Copies of this chain bind each other. A is one copy, B any other.
Amino acid sequence: MDTALHLDLPDFLARANARDLVLPRAEDRMRFVLELARENVAADGGPFAAAVFERDSGRLLAAGANRVVASGYSCAHAEMLALTLAQRQAGHYDLGRPPHPACELVSSAEPCLMCLGAVLWSGVRGLVCGARGEDVCAVGFDEGPKPADWPDELRRRGIGVTPDVLRDEARALLRDYQAAGLPVYNARLGA
């Protein structure tokens, strides 16, 4: 009888999570995340990565990448792994619980509908995005029916949103993935 769910991390991601890293600048945090996304593609993953940092100090809490195909779990998006690993690190489901320092999620792309919800419930106080949702859809992924005013919905709940950080680099990564003919899964729109 199985009594647990498991998700194995690829080596590069386990190593990233073991790092003692402090990145005070938003661009450096995003550069780190985009490099993880490239490593993830090389490790049979999707072109998405994300990481949770302490917002003010820039200390890395946890990093994730899209492992849907490799894990066999459709919820294994980058943001879900990063948030869950950060919560394991923090020892609590609420990353915003005092006295824990305020955290932010840095994602290589705007979250899909599922991950948007996950951001809401995670306790992070900020969301930093590279590529826009339209960039993600342009290569064939479905973002789901997100409300047009989703940044306002996050702000109403005390979560700041910073779009377009290194957007060009983030978009280039998606285009490279598409150009390589790699799998765009679960694009069921109209199917």
Given the known A-B contacts A73-B87, A158-B191, are A112 and B123 also in contact in the complex, defined by CB atoms under 8 Å? no
Identify the stretch in A91-99, A132-140, A169-177 within 8 Å (CB) of chain B at 4 or more residues: A91-99
A148→B113 CA distance, assembly (Å): 14
Q: For residue A69, which residues in chain B have a CB less than 8 angstroms away from its CB?
A: 93
- Stretch of A20-28, A53-61, A182-190 lying at the B interface: A182-190
Q: Quick check: is A107 within 8 A (CB to CB) of the other chain?
A: no
How many copies of this chain are found per oligomer?
A: 2
A94-B186, A145-B150, A186-B94 given; A88·B117 CB < 8 A: no
Taking residues whose C-beta sits less than 8 angstroms from the other chain, chain A's interface range is 35 or more
Q: Give the distance in Å from the alpha carbon of A73 to the alpha carbon of B14 in the complex.
A: 19
**Contact for A14 among B1, B80, B156, CB less than 8 A:** B1
For the complex formed, measure the closest distance between the CB of A146 and the CB atoms of chain B, giving whole angstroms. Answer: 8
Interface string of A99-121 (1 = CB under 8 A from B): 00000000000001111111011
Docked-complex contact A185 and B8, CB < 8 angstroms: no
